Amino acid sequence: MANRIKINDTVFAVGDTVVIYQKIQEEKKMRTQPFEGIVIGIKGRDENKSFTVRKIGAGGIGVERIWPVSSPWIEKIEVKRKGKVRRAKLYYLRERVGKKAVKIKAKDEKKKPRQPRRKSRPKTSKK
């Protein structure tokens, strides 16, 4: 299973907040509609690879969309925020309500060096 996808020089992974600009055909006109949400899963391999994006819509209703990677309807993808997750599938977000449903820690681009531990002082006994 892959945890990263590359589409048109845009690399994103599970836990990232992305905006997918999708082409929609209405009668004779083509328009672009954005869909912003968190990538909760990536599955498949090669040409059959697909990814699932979840957002919280109006009234707190969760909306999920699944796109094949090779879809001609995807115009472009923007990564708004990199997420730091420890799971390959974030299906546990489906049970969450409100702000907790979209709360994922941001991935720090630079890692901070660890501070050395301070040595404890030797205990002195009272006489």
Residue 92 confidence class, pLDDT cut points 50, 70, 90: confident
Radius of gyration from C-alpha coordinates of the chain: 21
Region 22-35 average pLDDT = 91
pLDDT tens string 52-86: 999 888 888 888 999 999 889 999 999 988 888 88
Closest CA to 37 of 90, 107, 1: 90
Torsion angle defined by CA atoms of residues 87, 52, 36 and 29, in that order, rounded to the nearest 10 degrees:
170
pTM for the complete prediction? 0.75
Q: Which fold has domain 4-94?
A: SH3 type barrels. (2.30.30)
Q: State how far the Cα of 51 lies from the Cα of 69, in Å rounded to an integer.
A: 7
**Per-domain residue ranges for the chain?**
4-94
Neighbours of 20 (CB within 10 A): 23
